[in-house]
Amino acid sequence: MEPLERYRPIVDDFEAFLAACRRPLGTAVRVNTIKTSVERATATLEEDGVEFDQADWNPRVLRLETDSPGATWASFHGFTHGQEEVSAVPPVVLDPQPGERVWDACAAPGGKATQIAALMDDEGTVVANDSNLGRISALRFNAERLGATNLAVTNADARNYSLSPFSFDEFDRALVDAPCSCEGTIRKNPDALENWSEDHIASVSGIQKGILRRAVQATTAGGTVVYSTCTFAPEENEAVVQHVLEEEDCRVLEFDLGLEHAPGLTEWDGQEFDESLERAARIYPHHNDTGGFFVAKLEVTA
């Protein structure tokens, strides 16, 4: 937990934050509305004897009283998909609409990409990309299991992504759920901080900046780009968005979120960020008994 001490000045109730980080994470699933309704999925779980609670902020997210969410009949039929509760936030903030063209820049293993497809009623086009060829098989498997037929899988470096294979040259919306230092996953992965270093944070933040810049460039004027990570490091969160604000034509938008959260930072370690970064959301583990996440919503302005 020592690396997390650097966040003591920015986290409310830091001792509660640390205590939450030490607790194992509960089990959550997302109802896959491509194949079923929330009512049918919950009825299937009840028939299977699986206890659950619906998340107040999103009725499609269920907290299960089981350690084996993939062993339920609901999962077998593709009615549910194991997905950490807070991981379901970025697609909701993105708010994709049926018929649109949406890019998930870092999509594997496919939880958010298939959630986007479901939010679009499986209409339109979701381009699910990942640079890691070894993870593409999991992305394809989840798309097929969950019945996402509007989803195309690509394997490319998102930093210089080309739309030449497609019949369109801009996306309506883009999600950058960026590769990161994963500090916020410590509850499900106790080894998350084992190889932590500030050098790694500096290295990965450069990749994040490149991907987010390309997402803004590839999205139509007036379109939406959501940037998210599962880490607490401001170097990977506000600093990345700040860089893109300075380099590309975009602005930070406000958004409603039914989960408790802290606002984004406007200063860290001597670096000042645009005041609009306060519109971003920092979700800490002790806020809602979840993992940690950062989410910012951008509008492309030109």
User: How does pLDDT run across 208-256, given as a tens digit for each residue?
Assistant: 999 999 999 999 999 999 999 999 999 999 999 999 999 999 999 999 9
Consult the annotation and say whether 35 binds a ligand: no
Phi, psi at residue 104, to the nearest 5°?
-105, 105
Consult the annotation and say whether 296 binds a ligand: no
User: pLDDT of 172-187, one tens digit each?
Assistant: 999 999 999 999 999 9
Report d(CA 75, CA 161) in Å as an integer.
33
Consult the annotation and say whether 107 binds a ligand: yes
Average pLDDT for residues 108-136, to the nearest whole number? 97
Residue that has been written with the tokens 């939010």 in this structure: 119
User: Among the options 180, 182, 230, 250, which is catalytic?
Assistant: 230
Give yes or no for residue 1 having a pLDDT over 90. Answer: no
For the chain, report the end-to-end CA distance as a whole number of angstroms.
Answer: 43
Q: CB within 8 A of 237, min separation 6: which ones?
A: 229, 231, 264, 265, 280, 282, 294, 296
User: pLDDT of 77-97, one tens digit each?
Assistant: 999 999 999 999 999 999 999
Full-model pTM: 0.97
What is the predicted pLDDT for the residue at 195?
87
Average pLDDT for residues 183-201, to the nearest whole number? 93
Consult the annotation and say whether 112 binds a ligand: yes
Helix (H) or strand (E) holding 296, with range, is strand 293-300
Active site (annotated) includes residue 182: no
Consult the annotation and say whether 157 binds a ligand: yes
What is the predicted pLDDT for the residue at 277?
98
Segments making up each domain of the chain, as ranges: 2-22+86-300, 26-83
Which of 118, 42, 31 lies closest to 80 in space, CA to CA?
31
Consult the annotation and say whether 223 binds a ligand: no
Strands 219-229 and 171-177: parallel
Consult the annotation and say whether 234 binds a ligand: no
Which of 28, 35, 174, 151 lies closest to 96 in space, CA to CA?
174
What's the mean per-residue pLDDT of the chain?
97
Helix (H) or strand (E) holding 297, with range, is strand 293-300
What is the predicted pLDDT for the residue at 39?
98
Give yes or no for residue 23 having a pLDDT over 80. Answer: yes
Consult the annotation and say whether 188 binds a ligand: no
Consult the annotation and say whether 71 binds a ligand: no
Tokens of 185: 């996953």
Give yes or no for residue 98 having a pLDDT over 90. Answer: yes
